[in-house]
Chain A
Amino acid sequence: MIDIAIIGGGPAGQAAARQTLGAGLSTTMIDEQARPGGQILRQPPAAFAVKGWMAGRLYRPLRRLLAQTEADIRLDWRGGTSVAGIERIEDHFRLTLSGAHGGTLLARRVLIAAGCYDMPVAMPGWTLPGVMSAGAVQTLLKSQQVVAGQPIVLLGSHPLLLVLATQLLDAGAEVAAVLMPQTYGRMARAVLPYLAGAIFTPGPLIAAGAAMARLRRAGVPMMMGARPIGFTGDGRLEAVDYAWRGQVQRIAAQAAAVSYGFLPQSDLPRQIGAAVRWARPAGGWETVCDGAMRSSIPGLYVAGETTGVAGADAAMAEGEIAGIAMALDAGVRPPSGMARAQARRARLQPFIDLLRAAADPGEVWPQATPETLLCRCEDISVAQVEATMAQLSPMADASAVKHRCRIGMGLCQGRSCEHALVRRIAAARGCDPDAVTPFRMRFPARPIPIDEIIG
């Protein structure tokens, strides 16, 4: 039995590990990726040498933390391993692992720092190969050093697209256009209330300005108010359709990077029954915690995007808080540094609010047609889901719809479609998404090869 299991080797998990290891607690870190870093610093393969990798100033603290993590021989790092199950048994936890280090792991305390993922947004043609999440395009680039395709169109409401566009340009890729559905005016109105507070964290804002300038210099059309309609192609993506000044336009593309926001990874917290709430405004379920990152389950902590999408700096601060709290609760470390980390986290909030407001697609959400697949795993269309909902009582929850039409029954366990279903049920009922009971999250959180289980 180990003291601490940390799920996720991103900034949050790493910051927590610094604290727990420093306090002398045995700590195991599990991550599906081969190397630590998380999504923002998804590392290239160890056998690669990449000049100036993620050299930007904003990444410096993250790189320093990563270097410390990788150098710390006290850390039991288990890469290439998925956490498929989490249960509380009496006073400890049992994790079921799959992959390079499969089997079970018993731990006295667990931190879930599993990050977030790109919100899948159903729109016509979105299942065509070549249509990817912005995160997929970005991680192919920074980790695998591969351009996802070109010409590439970036589309969606999230300002992360600007960062991605510059990264693609730096890699020499042909960026055809950046299509953002909000107008400048709308975005300005959305962020205005938060600007004053965000002035203490100007780094990302300056970076965004620089990115826009870089796109202009490169001649990449950056179209605010261009509303993506859908994707077309024969067997793979060939073009992106969008509405621009009242007209439908088509732009050729081999790849598309879509970003309307991020959803917290919530499968493990929900599997073990930790309290979650609907994340605003992007949606999905964020795990509820107190000021020391304790979840509603004794001994279970959460940090980083799992608690609500807030960026890498917040993830680091929360990880540190969680690490200190775990040490405190284990009774091995005097409570130092907690207040400082909490203050650091609090200072970030205005910028986080600003980014969330800026990224919120609000009324410029893309439209699915009746034939659009909502559930990509089981191939369930919007029309099928609507027909099922119509047969059920309006009070029927997400699981009732799932049982009847198979939405969410596939390999991804509903990660791709559940948020959309919950929004639809809420809209039909005229209630808040928080009032809709979501799917019951089942073991395993990731598909496990049967031969691996049997051994």
Chain B
Amino acid sequence: MTHEVLIIGGGLLGCAAAWHLARAGLAPRLIEARGINAGASGQNAGSLHFQIERRFLEPGASGQGADIVRLNRLAIEEWAGLEEQLSRPLDIHMHGGLMLAESEADLALLASKVARENELGLPTQLLSGAEARDLVPRLAPHVCGAAWLAREGHANPRILADAFAHAARASGAVIETDSRLLDLHRDGHGWQATIEQAGQISTARARHVILATGHWTARIAARMGLNIPLYLAPLMMSVTDRTAPFLPYLIQHVGKRLSMKQTDDGNMVIGGGWASAPQRMADGMPDLDAPPHLVPDNLRANLAVAASVLPCLRGRSLIRSWTGMTCISADQLPVVGQVPAAPGLYIAAGGSMFTLGPLLARMLARSIIERAMPEEIALFSAARFAHLNAFVVPS
């Protein structure tokens, strides 16, 4: 039997794509090596970053900020409709987000960022320190300004992929956990996958294959002889004990790595792109399956940045830190769609794929259903890196 679509990976991207394809009647099969949501999709900070993220303002990142705003505007609408589409509560909070400034230099950066966003149709607003403190009275007195976006926010990463998987199954998708892709190669007009499930090896044929394998994607592609410029980003997150609700917003920082929010349960979740250290395999390559080590200096620095803008954090206790891996692309923008050197093979990775995942999964599904890349995401097509595969001999 030949599947119309075989999806590898049961994270947010894979599960959401499965749902869109299933609703279109394509009855996809999804295989997940571990459990649904066991990867970055279940470990991330849950921030819905719709303002231009600080990483796009760093030296070296030039035009990408503008490109990403286009996508973010679509993502805002995607998230706004999600609970209704999936007809279940998803702990989505789009009550607003503040990107803070602590210095004059921060403020200048913030002002130019807001101007650029407004030009691109994103309604961020520049607030004074006092206005920011009106929103969050516990912000430190030296916070001197903020960019406010009313529809930013956060969602609960622990339940979203499940909700998509559940809906996908109900629409006819077949979802198998503990099923690992071992090998993938071309087979006529389609693909043949070798799959290990509970110690049993089997093969499956498919016309289209989606590698929704997060930070594993580049290595899986490399084994097929394909170059995908996705690089490992090992990160860490921390969470404190619960406290009475006081922060309905997403907090970021324009000059420092920080993301912070309060969950429905009252815990403070703190992150913002601080690195952890991957474990190494015998040959020195990072071990993609093992959780990275925490870097104590980064933990300290992350918490210090957080407590600097929100001093009440000093009264809380750290109850859990964890690490996870994701990947960024060579130009920091997502890489989505068919890999030109491998017709029928699709990817979607690189970037803040929690924020963008629901949108890009829908676009990916559309590009299979409509046999063409949707206009809206043409900028993010994998084709922009086609030159990297110029010397690949199709297998």
Binding site for B on A (CB under 8 A): 85, 87, 89, 94, 96, 104, 378, 393, 395-397, 400, 403-404, 406, 409-411, 413, 440, 442-444, 447-451, 453-455
Contact = CB atoms under 8 A, between A and B. Distances in A.
A449 B240 CA distance: 9
Interface string B312-337: 01111111111000000000000000
A454 B303 contact: yes
Contacts of A96: 296
Given A403-B42, A411-B319, 9 more contacts: A89-B293, A378-B265, A395-B178, A396-B35, A404-B159, A453-B318, A454-B300, A454-B307, A454-B314
A447 B38 CA distance: 25
Interface residues of B, number: 32
B319 A450 contact: no
Contacts of B322: 440, 442-443
Contact of B318 (A104, A409, A444): A444
Contacts of A397: 35
Contacts of A94: 296
Given A104-B296, A395-B177, A403-B42, A450 B162 contact: no
B37 A453 contact: no
Given A395-B178, A410-B319, A454 B304 contact: yes
B320 A450 contact: no
B294 A450 contact: no
B291 interface: yes
Interface string B276-299: 000000000000000101101001
A440 B291 contact: yes
B158 A403 contact: yes
Contacts of B67: none
Given A404-B162, A410-B319, A444-B321, A450 B314 contact: yes
B241 interface: yes
A450 B307 contact: yes
B314 A451 contact: yes
Interface of B: 35-38, 42, 158-159, 162, 177-178, 240-241, 265, 291, 293-294, 296, 299-300, 303-304, 307, 313-322
Contact of B294 (A404, A413, A440, A443): A443
Contacts of B159: 404
B35 A448 contact: no
A183 B300 CA distance: 55
B318 A450 contact: yes
A450 B265 CA distance: 19
Contact of B158 (A404, A440, A447, A448): A404
Contacts of A442: 320-322
B219 to A, nearest CB: 22
Contacts of B291: 440
A411 B241 contact: yes
B16 to A, nearest CB: 18
A449 B313 CA distance: 10
11 contacts: A89-B293, A378-B265, A400-B35, A404-B159, A411-B317, A443-B294, A444-B320, A447-B318, A450-B316, A451-B314, A453-B318
A447 B317 contact: yes
Nearest to B37: A403
A395 B35 CA distance: 9
A339 B222 CA distance: 53
Contact of A450 (B37, B293, B317): B317
A443 B321 contact: yes
Contacts of A443: 294, 320-322
A104 B300 CA distance: 12
A451 B315 contact: yes
Contacts of B265: 378, 406
Contact of B313 (A89, A104, A404, A450): A450
A164 B158 CA distance: 44
Given A404-B158, A448-B318, A455 B37 contact: no
A422 to B, nearest CB: 16
Contacts of A449: 316-318
Contacts of B37: 400, 403
Contact of A447 (B293, B294, B299, B319): B319
A87 B319 CA distance: 18
Contacts of B158: 403-404
* A-B pairs, 10 with minimum CB distance: A447-B317, A451-B314, A403-B158, A454-B304, A448-B318, A442-B320, A443-B321, A447-B319, A450-B316, A442-B322
Contacts of A404: 158-159, 162
B6 to A, nearest CB: 20
A236 B241 CA distance: 25
A247 B92 CA distance: 51
B300 A453 contact: yes
Nearest to B177: A393
Contact of A87 (B177, B241, B293, B303): B293
Contacts of A409: 320
A455 B300 contact: yes
B161 to A, nearest CB: 10
A96 B297 CA distance: 12
A396 B293 CA distance: 25
A448 B317 contact: yes
